[in-house]
Structure 1
Amino acid sequence: MRRPLTGKVVIATHNAGKLSEMRELLGPFGIEAVSAGELGLPEPDETGTMFAENAAIKAHAATRATGLPAFADDSGLCVDALDGAPGIFSARWAGPTKDFAGAMARIFAELDARGATDRRAHFVSALVLAWPDGHTELFEGRVFGDIVEPRGDAGFGYDPLFRPDGHVRTFGEMSAEEKHGVDWRAGRGLSHRARAFVNLARECLTPAARI
């Protein structure tokens, strides 16, 4: 049975971009959010082989440390012609300095090395919501599109090189509101993280808290 989320929650991230997006998505529901980074929690080793496994590792580490419900996102860019890479290693391609310009350059270099002309890709987001008693919820979202020359300085990570299907601008050229593309009444979103969050909201946010 799905469990409603109320009160305070820990967002198990040290990534300022993810934290900003999560707070924007939670805002309409009256949920107070504090991040693992703000609490000074250590980052657990992400030893999973799937997005959902790594999200669960982060969420459970945060809920154990705080005694509060916690949710974590593990997400990444999967490029078809690179056999799904960088995938769960998306953040690691940017290195310890979070050099996503270098990570994007690496994608193009590897595509060129393979002589690949296919530019199809998709973003994946796995959201895991965990409680101190071990109860866990998992929600996923995907958005498909094409790899293009990086454009725009909004968003974060690989946003500048990803143009979602049906759009002429990259995520890096969209405002946060446009990138989320959330329509609560229709129950849909545009970005991978928004799509996963809409699924979470439908199941775990109480009707009185909804828009």
Structure 2
Amino acid sequence: MKKIVIATQNKGKAKDFEALLAPLGYKVLTLLDVAQDLDVEETGVTFEENAILKAEAVSKVLGIPVISDDSGLEIDALNGEPGVYSARYAGAAKSDSANIDKVLEKMSGVPENGRTARFRCVLAVAAPNEKTETFSGSCEGIILSTPQGNNGFGYDPIFYVPAQSKAMAELLPHEKAAISHRGNALRELQQRMPKWLNEEKQS
């Protein structure tokens, strides 16, 4: 069984990747397993740039295939904020509750028809001597005025999904996976799996 590293220390993300890659013969590892101290500065201005930066940097250090994930929330009324700064919108401490409070404060007074937003996720797949490829997914929604639900993480409690008639944080894990930005990006990766990644499994 070949190993592939997900350039994250988020255990929740790791489970999403395991569900996709284990059936293809891969053992999924994260930075918590192989390089806890490896920190790649996210200097990109887009999700694509940051995903590529992380994937290529970690792949170069470890010498094996790496998948990275950069994702966040884009709010139309805030000109796309928080975007690539989603995790640290309210400060370097990366507090979910503080980030939510900042969004709600900035969205105060915005009517429902102006509260459109989306979660976006970009995956980058990198390996030594191979061209890095990217895959993306999104999920459309509306920013709520007050948090709802206790599931998920990040901005899920204030992200209402009209197709489900629930906030993202009110969905069960399998319901979220079926419609989420990360789930959609993973499905695109599965459909367009780089040829060299499949071959890597056989070597």
Determine the C-alpha separation between the residues in 2 that align with 1:193 and 1:105: 24
Deviation per residue, 1:137-157 (Å, 9 max, x gap): 110111101111211221111
Is the contact made by 1:10 and 1:69 (CA closer than 8 Å) also made in structure 2? yes
Matched, 1:194 2:193: no
Which residue of the partner structure matches residue 27 of structure 2? 32
Is the contact made by 2:40 and 2:57 (CA closer than 8 Å) also made in structure 1? yes
Which residue of the partner structure matches residue 173 of structure 2? 176
Determine the C-alpha separation between the residues in 1 that align with 2:180 and 2:49: 21
Runs of 4+ in 1 over 6 A off after TM superposition: none
Determine the C-alpha separation between the residues in 2 that align with 1:11 and 1:160: 26
Pairwise CA distance, 1:17: 2.9
From 74, 78, 86, the equivalent of 1:82 is: 78
- How many residues matched? 192
Which residue of the partner structure matches residue 125 of structure 1? 121
What is the TM-score normalised by the length of structure 1? Answer: 0.84
From 116, 139, 161, the equivalent of 2:110 is: 116
Is the contact made by 2:116 and 2:141 (CA closer than 8 Å) also made in structure 1? yes
Is the contact made by 2:14 and 2:28 (CA closer than 8 Å) also made in structure 1? no
Determine the C-alpha separation between the residues in 2 that align with 1:11 and 1:38: 10
More helix by share: 2
Matched, 1:160 2:157: yes
Identity %, equivalent residues? 38
Pairwise CA distance, 1:94: 5.0
Q: How has the CA–CA distance of structure 1 residues 163 and 46 changed in structure 2, closer, same or farther, with 3 Å as cutoff? A: same
Instruction: Give the alignment's Cα RMSD to 1 decimal.
Output: 1.9
Amino acid at match of 1:107: V
Which residue of the partner structure matches residue 145 of structure 1? 141
User: Mind listing any 5+ residue stretches in structure 1 that lack a counterpart?
Assistant: 1-5, 182-189
Determine the C-alpha separation between the residues in 2 that align with 1:81 and 1:8: 42
Is the contact made by 1:17 and 1:156 (CA closer than 8 Å) also made in structure 2? no
Is the contact made by 2:72 and 2:120 (CA closer than 8 Å) also made in structure 1? yes
Pairwise CA distance, 1:96: 3.8
Deviation per residue, 1:55-103 (Å, 9 max, x gap): 0011011111111100101000001111110001001115443311110
